[in-house]
Structures are given as structure tokens and as C-alpha cells.
């Protein structure tokens, strides 16, 4: 960076919850922050709130970006490239917990696209900016990945969809890409780590009906988003050069056997690359 130039951080799903809390902390740490939000009004509200807090000081920008389809993800990457002269930190925070099987315009199960395919494709589409800045990439993961099943031919279309387990399936797929991206970027200066931020009180998984009522009641005891932002920001600011790691809160942990199958990870990578039509 040039003299006086601030590092630039991009945070997806930043209009509320952990994403907003991460953006708030990074602004406080001196970064320019680009909020990625699918909803323009909510994103603008978040941007204005950060400015009004006295932390932003005009250093917070909004990119309206939809991560629900391959076309939309590419459009978001184009918008980010236009908005960002550099990217020093990329935080993949956007995610969803589906309660029913919904196929998007690509014929893919929606949470598979948002939780797994979107970070994968954004990493590749934004790679020139990441490489130019020796960027830190942080993937917000979920400890529930240990309950997941990653099937290259069934998970993309949600063929074994379950309203509780599919979230774990898609987060597992996403986590298995982290060591492969670390290998891809070895020696380039770009690093990537994943982190489970804890069980946090956000809108993730909210739904109606009896199950929704139970979930809402249980969330009263969960930790606030600011608590979940801590380990995410710690990795975003890390300077130890580590990469390809998984953290439970702020403690590094080896991947559970379900996520450590290198052959399966490569099959998932190849399937995702074909789906996105990338080499």
C-alpha cells in the first residue's frame, strides 16, 4: 500500500448479524470497508449506521450483490472489482439455513449456491485483486460441518435435502475447499483460513411454525453478534502467514475426518468448477 493508504476489507452478508459486527470492528481497526448486501435498503441502512456511529468517517461503502446464482455472483464480482482498487481482506460471511428445497435459476439447491459455490466463485473471480494485495481470505464456517455429508453429484441439487442437515452439508462442502485454495495460492502471499465463530444470535435459520418458535426461544441464550465477530476479525488481521487452517473460535483445530478426505475434496472442487464453467 502507498503511504497513508488504508487497507480495504470486503465483507459479504454485512448488513446485519456477524457480518455487520465484523465490518464495525474492521472500520475501528482502520480499514476501509465494503459491505456486500443483497438488499439495497438494508445495506444502505447498515452503511449509514456505521457512519453515524462516528467509526466510519466516510470509510464505509456499499456494493449491492446477490449471491444466489452463478450469474449474480459474477455480477457481484464485477461490481466489487469496479468499486475496489485493491482487496486486502475478504470475509465470506453470507450464508443461509434453508427450511425447504428451493432450486435457483441454475437448477441448483439454493443454500448450496450461497454457502459453498458463492465463496468458491468469488475467490476465483476476485483472484487478480487478491494476488495483487497479498490478501487475507476468511471463511466463516460452522461447527455443524461435522454432521454433514458432501456428495459431489447429489448435494448440488439438494437430492438428499433435509431442513436441518442440508446446512451442515453445504458448510462441509465449503470448508473442504479451504485447504485446496491454500495450496492453489501457496507462495503467492494470499492466505485463507476458516473459523467457526460460535453459536450466535442472528437471523440465520429463522422460520415460522412450531420449530421457528422453539428456535426463537433458544436464541435468547445465544451470544450476541459482536462476540461472534471476534475470532473472525482476529483471523482477518492475522499476520502469522498461516493458511489452510480451521479455527473453533480462536483455537486452531484439525479438520474432522469427514472434512479431511482429500480425494473427495478434489472431486467437489472439480464438480464446482465445471458447474461454474471455470478451469
Q: Catalytic residue numbers? A: 167
Between CA 248 and CA 259 the distance in angstroms is 14
Between CA 107 and CA 147 the distance in angstroms is 25
Between CA 201 and CA 219 the distance in angstroms is 6
Phi-psi region of 65 (alpha: psi -120 to 50; beta: other; left: phi over 0): beta
Instruction: Count how many residues are written for the chain.
Output: 279
Ordered alpha helix ranges (H), 108-186 = 110-112, 118-125, 127-133, 165-184
Furthest-apart CA pair in the chain: how many Å?
A: 56
Neighbours of 269 (CB within 10 A): 18
Sign of CA dihedral 183, 87, 225, 44: negative
Query: Can you tell me whether residue 192 is helix, strand or coil?
Result: strand
Strand partners of residue 64: 37
Report CA-CA distances (Å) from 236 to 29, 72, 91, 92: 11, 26, 8, 11
Lookup: cell for 68:
444466489
Lookup: cell for 127:
483472484
Between CA 31 and CA 97 the distance in angstroms is 30
Which strand ranges, in their side-by-side order, compose the sheet holding 60-64? 60-64, 32-37, 8-12, 89-92, 136-140, 191-196, 245-248, 251-253
Quick one: DSSP state of residue 109? B
Amino acid at each position: 500500500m502507498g503511504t497513508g493508504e488504508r487497507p480495504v476489507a470486503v465483507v459479504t452478508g454485512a448488513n446485519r448479524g456477524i457480518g455487520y459486527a465484523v465490518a464495525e470492528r474492521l472500520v475501528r481497526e482502520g480499514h476501509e470497508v465494503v459491505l456486500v448486501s443483497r438488499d439495497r435498503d438494508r445495506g444502505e441502512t447498515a452503511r449509514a449506521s456505521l457512519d453515524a456511529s462516528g467509526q466510519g468517517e466516510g470509510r464505509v461503502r456499499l456494493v449491492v450483490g446477490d449471491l444466489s446464482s452463478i450469474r449474480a455472483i459474477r455480477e457481484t464480482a464485477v461490481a466489487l472489482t469496479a468499486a475496489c482498487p485493491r482487496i486486502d481482506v475478504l470475509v465470506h460471511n453470507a450464508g443461509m439455513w434453508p427450511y425447504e428445497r428451493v432450486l435457483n435459476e441454475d437448477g441448483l439447491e439454493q443454500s448450496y449456491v450461497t454457502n459453498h459455490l458463492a465463496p468458491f466463485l468469488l475467490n476465483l473471480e476476485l483472484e487478480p485483486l487478491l494476488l495483487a494485495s497479498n490478501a487475507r481470505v476468511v471463511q466463516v464456517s460452522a461447527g455443524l460441518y461435522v454432521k454433514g455429508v458432501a456428495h459431489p453429484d447429489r448435494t448440488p441439487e439438494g437430492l438428499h435435502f433435509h431442513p436441518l442437515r442440508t446446512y451442515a452439508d453445504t458448510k462441509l462442502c465449503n470448508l473442504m475447499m479451504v485447504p485446496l485454495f491454500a495450496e492453489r495460492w501457496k507462495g503467492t502471499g494470499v492466505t485463507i483460513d476458516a473459523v467457526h465463530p460460535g453459536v450466535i444470535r442472528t437471523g440465520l435459520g429463522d422460520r415460522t411454525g412450531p420449530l421457528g418458535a422453539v428456535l426463537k426461544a433458544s436464541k435468547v441464550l445465544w451470544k450476541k453478534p459482536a462476540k461472534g465477530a471476534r475470532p473472525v476479525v482476529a483471523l482477518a488481521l492475522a499476520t502469522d502467514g498461516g493458511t489452510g487452517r480451521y479455527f473453533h473460535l480462536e483455537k486452531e483445530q484439525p479438520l474432522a475426518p469427514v472434512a479431511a478426505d482429500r480425494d473427495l475434496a478434489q472431486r467437489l472442487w472439480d464438480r464446482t468448477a465445471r458447474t461454474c464453467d471455470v478451469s
